[in-house]
Amino acid sequence: MVPPDRCFGSTKIAYFVVTAISSLWVVACSAPRRTVIAVIPQTDGTMLWQPAHVGAETAVRGSGLSIYWNAPAREDDVEAQIDLVERAIDRRVAGLVLVPDQALSLISPVRRSLAHGIQVVIIGSPLPIPAGNNLSYILNDDVAAGHMAAQRLDVLLHGRGTVAVLGIDPDFMGIMIRERSFEEYLAQHDPGIHVVDREMGSFNFPQQQQIAQTTLRSHRDLGAIVALMSPSVDGALAALASMHVRQSVKVIGFDVSGWPLFDRNLNLDCVIQENTRLMGQKAVEIIEAARQHRPVPTQVILPPVMITRRSSDAAEVRWMFSQDWTLGRSKWSAQQ
């Protein structure tokens, strides 16, 4: 016969085991989950949107929030971006910061995010969805950007000459806005400057280079090129370099995907850059404010920054192009 105390001992052990397992389960389930904000730019691995990662990480520093950063492998891979948005919805993120790859295709996924109560901030280029109801926009002032390009062109050509506009892409409302504002400004203030060629843009650098070469061959007296997107800028500069065109043909570029290398590209006059770092930072701040039930702006318009040969080393420009999104978390020393 088992003595009563031994029976009680085994019962006690069983109780202990059950209690321990239950406690572990309760602790595991009740452990606070880090609130995640998904930041999905047009693409990753280029220098245009990496500063937005820096800005987002800066904004969440010390807040207990964390950033989930991922993007399609190509700027035009809309399907992959939609898939990422859907996954963010499934993960029940606290907020979504999105740089849409296409104006129309992202409408439904964004509306679905809003229907799930996710605070959404669209940065860079707008979508045709009215702001409000958890949707905010942080946009580049593309009207001002177009005006800046026109004003700069006026200075370069002294009010007379021809210009080709490359990189027109209807997928991005921002690009279309800047193109229209550029031409409207020219028509209004510089009637002596004529737009002689308008070419569609894409994210294919060699194709953009070929388009630029064709444009240069077709218009031998071209005074300047306005390239509205990064591959068009690179394509135009490569075409000018390969054709040994005179340095007087100047390029005004938009949104380059890296530090503007004026020394290597003598034809490059200036770059009108959207402040992606500030966009990423403000977007996350808006989501954080919404979580704390503070009033949030429905639309923020950020002025673009014109970077010239002279201002390229300015502190503001360095701050804009900062790449260290780890903000010192990864402390390493490199040696060769």
Partner 1 sequence: MRGRLHWGLLALAALLCAAFALVAMIVWRHSPRRGLPYRDSFAAGRADEWRAFGGDWELIHGMMRNDSDERGAKLLAGSRYWRNYSVEADVYLLGDSGDAGLIIRSSDEEQGVNAYSGYYAGLRTGDNSLVLGRADHGWMETSRQVPVANGIRPFHWYHLKLLAYDCQIVAAMSAPGDAFHNSVSIDDTNCIRSGRIGLRSYSAGGIWRNVIVRTASRQDLLAMLKGTPVLSELTVPDPLQLESLNNPDTSEEQVNGLPGGTVRTIRSLRLRFLARPAVVTIRGVVVLTTPRLYVQDATGGVYVQNPPGQPLKLGDEVEVSGEAHSGEFSPMLKHATVRVLWERTPMPPLSVTAAEASTGKYDATFIEMRGVLNGWEHGPGNTLMLDLQDGPQSFRAVLNPGRSDSLLSRLKPDSVVRVRGICVVDPVLTGNLTPFVLLLRSNEDLNVISGPPWWSARHVFAIGVFVFLLSIGTFALYHRLENWRLLAIMSERARLAHEMHDTLAQSFAGIGFQLQAIRNRVPDGMPVISQQLQFASELVRHSHEEARRSLATLHSEELQSEDVLVALDQCARRMIEGSAVQVITLREGEVRGIPLRIADPLYRIGQEAIANAIRHANPATLTLRLSFRKNSVSLDIEDDGAGFVMGDGLHGFGIRGMRRRAQSISAVFNIRSRSGGGTQIRVDTPLPPRFGFAALPGFLWKITMEHRTNVRARANSRIYSR
216 vs 307, beta carbon nearer partner 1: 216
Give the phi and the psi of residue 67 in degrees, each rounded to 5.
-105, 130
Contacts of 135 (CB under 8 A, 6+ apart): 110, 114, 120, 121, 122, 129, 298
Q: In the complex, what is the shortest distance from the CB of residue 58 to partner 1, in angstroms, rounded to a whole number? A: 13
With CA atoms as reference, report the closest residue to 275 among 126, 168, 101, 123: 123
Cβ proximity to partner 1, 191 vs 206, nearer residue: 206
Q: Which of 51, 47, 113 is nearest to 84 (CA)?
A: 113
SS3 40: strand
Of 72 and 223, which has the nearer Cβ to partner 1? 72
Nearest distance, CB of residue 269 and partner 1, angstroms? 24
Which of 279, 303, 263 has its CA nearest to residue 59? 279
Minimum CB distance to partner 1 smaller for 308 or for 322: 322
Query: For residues 270 and 252, what is the distance between their CA atoms, to the nearest angstrom?
Result: 5
Site residues (vs partner 1, CB under 8 A)? 1-2, 10, 43-45, 50, 53, 68-74, 76-77, 80, 84, 203-207, 209-210, 213, 242, 323-326, 329-336
- In this complex, which beta carbon is closest to partner 1, that of residue 79 or of residue 313? 79
CB of 186 to partner 1, least distance (A): 30
Please tell me the number of Cα atoms within 13 Å of 177 on its side-chain side: 15
- Give the HSE-up count for residue 250: Cα atoms under 13 Å, Cβ half-sphere: 19
**Least distance CB 201 / partner 1 (angstroms):** 13
User: Can you name the residues that pair with 271 across neighbouring β-strands?
Assistant: 253, 307
Least gap, CB of 1 to partner 1 (angstroms)? 4
Q: How far is the CB of 192 from partner 1 (least distance, A)?
A: 32
Q: Which is nearer to partner 1, 43 or 113 (CB)?
A: 43
